A and B are shown apart, each in its own frame.
Chain A
Amino acid sequence: MPMKIGDQPFFGRVKDGLEDSFMRSAVTSAQERMQGKRLAAVEELGDWEEWRKLGEEIRTHTLENLDYYLQQLSENTAKRGGNVFFAKTKEEANEYIRSIVEKKQAKKIVKSKSMVTEEINLNETLEAAGCEVIETDLGEYILQLDDHDPPSHIVVPALHKNKEQIRDTFKEKKGYQKTEVPEELALFAREQLRQEFLTADLGITGCNFAVADAGTVCLVTNEGNAGLVTALPKTQITVMGMERIVPTWEELDVLVSLLCRSSVGQKLTSYITGLTGPKEEGDVDGPEEFHLVIVDNGRSNILGTEFQSALHCIRCAACINVCPVYRHIGGHSYGSIYPGPIGAVLTPLLGGYEEYKELPYASSLCAACTDACPVKIPLHELLIKHRRKIVEDEGKAPMAEKLAMKGYEFAVKHPSIYKAGTKSAPVALKPFTKDNSIKSGPGPVKLWTDTRDLPAPSKQRFRDWYKQKRKQEDQHNGG
């Protein structure tokens, strides 16, 4: 499973996450910083809800007409001299890219940030083919140097690391001699990377959005590395998830604004790069050969299902930045390169319930994610849909839970049974009750009382009090 991070089961990963106090403080402060910036950028725009609605409409329209726009993109890219390859699977994508690399006899490859190439595990394929692959996004570069530590966030991949850890990694792997001051670290990385750009044979990028009617690929960065990846090497390959498309520049304008504001709290990032096919006569830079690889890898199975809106995602990570579960367990606990609420929705769709059955339950359904999403993906509702599917379509719910839910339904539908149940609760829990609270409960109650007290049931239920009150009033009025 290429999306997958590590082999540990879910609760083991969560335990590691919860015990990693450094990671947790890094995540907490990053969340608060990014949330604050996002809210300010959103506020500044004014009618944010209208913008979100527009974003949702654009994404819905595009996904409903995806075949049309993919065709258009493909034709327009070809018209401008680019090659288009549609990969049904990750294997097809990897094989195509590997064949280009081989044909070009490329040895050194520079890459700008791309989640889809993480998803298909492209680096491993290229390294196995004998290439040196260099990540040029600063966060990705740090992770790559640190023995391929996986990303824990889709926008800020090294979010879980602090400057001291980065200094140590640079020192150990690259002979860095200076301090942990971020400017010094960045300058060092810049010097290292500049050499790589100048000597690379081939550049690989991801794709934030492709503009269908222009045949243009758009890259959003703050470091300018994507510009160098696409300007210097003679061959460029852009890999895109097949849903990352907009009809025209007009829709791009809206979505780039939503993306920049929601992900990093900026009006626009420092660089928005648009690339249309290979370099033409008179162009001073740009690749001589351009390939666009459009990756399906399970996405078309999501189209037309109740989960289609998950494909509306523009990878801004606003949902991750507000998620209280992510806040405590960090990105690696999700076991996928796609963490947080969107990860909990998307990962089981792409990787299956067998591998990722816990993820839809790793949410308190607080809906902070749904509220933050700039294209209005109803994330918490999609998590409930997953749960329904696991229970009702896949039959994967535990037997005890199924029986409990049947019993619950029966009691709730039969008020006499329900009332008998609530009446007997104080009696049943009496042996466990002390000072009006239960510190160690029986059966499933224990899961609660492991960490919290449970209040003792009221000695007189509300409904008994109510009946008594009305009776007294009647007597009073009658007498």
Chain B
Amino acid sequence: MKVSIFITCLADMFYANVGKSTVELLEKLGCEVDFPEQQTCCGQVSYNSGYHKETKEVAKHMIKAFEHSDYVVAPSGSCVAMLHEYPHLLQEEKEWKEKAEVLAAKSYELTQFIVDVLKVEDVKASLPACATYHKSCHMTRLLGVKDAPSKLLSQVEGLTVNSLPNSENCCGFGGTFSVKMGPISEQMVQEKVESIEETKAEVLIGADCGCLMNIGGYINRQGKQIKVMHIAEVLNSEGK
């Protein structure tokens, strides 16, 4: 199966290891992976800030970048949800709207792709650790991916996943919200980190680099000893 990676701007720049793990994991699962070089960012920053004229141009660029892909897979539910927003965004330009629908139909978040398309739940990973999992809002609510991560994590050898109190609550990232509404965002991430600590987990697992940058950044600042891992890294682990 041929799969194009959409790496997302955050993973490309800040979390290269998430990208590497995504590629290695998909290859282990028998996919033929490629990386369309023209890809950049999904446009969520400008879209959520209200700059829709600019975002339409971004969307068209991304549609072209993945025009020849069979499947587009990204290690981020939020960015994939944005790709799914393109048909709505471009609804007044018939030709582009149709192309956007094609892109949306072939775009998947990583765990969603593994469970729903590859039909695999045990990726033969191993990570002896006690962890908890942060559900990302856009992945669960906008993209509707609710069970795939826990199905995959439950099969990881040696891994215990403790449930996170108030797991439905946002971590306070929200893109530009984190800086525009800094004091509110800070309280949200503080509460999230307190909930994580309550679980006694040594590892926090998440599926979106935005949330992990926020939660991880706060954990670091507070000097707490909790390791932050993207689910792609966990599923690619062969730890003893």
Contact = CB atoms under 8 A, between A and B. Distances in A.
B41 A387 contact: no
Given A324-B170, A324-B188, A409-B57, A384 B47 contact: yes
B173 interface: yes
B50 A392 contact: yes
A368 B181 contact: no
Contact of A447 (B18, B40, B179): B179
A466 B35 contact: yes
A16 to B, nearest CB: 11
B58 A412 contact: yes
B221 interface: yes
Contact of A466 (B23, B138, B183): B23
Contact of B141 (A371, A388, A455): A371
A363 B177 contact: yes
A452 B221 contact: yes
B209 to A, nearest CB: 10
Interface in B175-199: 175, 177-189, 191
Given A18-B183, A452-B221, A409 B37 contact: no
A199 interface: no
B149 interface: no
Interface residues of A, number: 63
B17 A458 contact: yes
Contacts of A412: 40-41, 43, 57-58, 61
B229 to A, nearest CB: 13
A62 to B, nearest CB: 25
A324 B169 contact: yes
B170 A329 contact: no
Given A415-B37, A462-B7, A388 B218 contact: no
Interface in A296-328: 322, 324-325, 327-328
Interface string B191-235: 100000000000000000000011011101100000000000000
Contacts of B179: 444, 447-448
B17 A364 contact: no
B20 to A, nearest CB: 6
A422 B188 contact: no
What is the predominant secondary structure among interface residues of chain B facing chain A? helix
A83 interface: no
Contacts of A413: 40, 57-58, 61
Contacts of A458: 13-17
B177 A361 contact: yes
Nearest to B7: A462
B58 A329 contact: no
B131 interface: no
A186 interface: no
Contacts, number: 189
A465 B61 contact: no
Interface string B1-36: 000000101011111111110010000000000010
Given A368-B137, A388-B52, A422-B9, A461 B172 contact: no
B187 A463 contact: no
Nearest to A423: B13
Given A328-B184, A447-B179, A462-B7, A455 B217 contact: yes
Nearest to A362: B181
A454 B213 CA distance: 7
A251 B179 CA distance: 44
Interface in A114-151: none
A35 to B, nearest CB: 8
Contacts of A368: 137, 141, 168-170
A409 B54 CA distance: 6
B154 interface: no
A365 interface: yes
A408 B213 contact: no
Contacts of B169: 324, 327, 366, 368
Interface in B138-169: 138, 141-142, 166, 168-169
Nearest to A413: B61
Contacts of B57: 409, 412-413
B174 A364 contact: yes
Interface string A50-86: 0000000000000000000000000000000000000
Given A366-B174, A461-B16, A14 B184 contact: yes
Contacts of A411: 40
B49 interface: yes
A460 to B, nearest CB: 6
A172 interface: no
B7 A463 contact: yes
Contact of B14 (A370, A389, A406, A455): A455
A406 B57 CA distance: 11
A1 interface: no
B91 interface: no
A327 B14 CA distance: 31
Which of A32, A371, A463 has most chain B Cβ within 10 Å? A463
A18 B23 CA distance: 43
Contacts of A425: 13
Contacts of A11: 183
B53 interface: yes
Given A18-B183, A448-B178, A462-B7, A415 B38 contact: yes
A451 B52 CA distance: 30
A450 B221 CA distance: 10
B184 A451 contact: no
Contacts of A328: 184, 187-188, 191
A191 interface: no
B69 interface: no
Indicate the member of B20, B50, B55, B221 with the most A CB atoms within 10 Å: B50
Contacts of B216: 453, 455
Given A367-B137, A458-B17, 11 more contacts: A14-B183, A18-B183, A362-B181, A367-B141, A368-B170, A384-B47, A390-B50, A448-B179, A455-B213, A456-B14, A463-B7
27 contacts: A18-B187, A32-B166, A328-B187, A363-B177, A365-B177, A368-B169, A384-B48, A387-B48, A388-B51, A397-B51, A405-B49, A406-B54, A408-B46, A409-B55, A411-B40, A415-B37, A415-B40, A422-B9, A422-B13, A437-B220, A447-B182, A451-B182, A453-B217, A454-B217, A455-B14, A456-B14, A462-B18
In the A-B complex, the 10 residue pairs with the smallest Cβ-Cβ separation, listed nearest first, are A364-B174, A387-B50, A452-B217, A462-B19, A366-B170, A458-B16, A366-B137, A391-B50, A409-B54, A447-B179
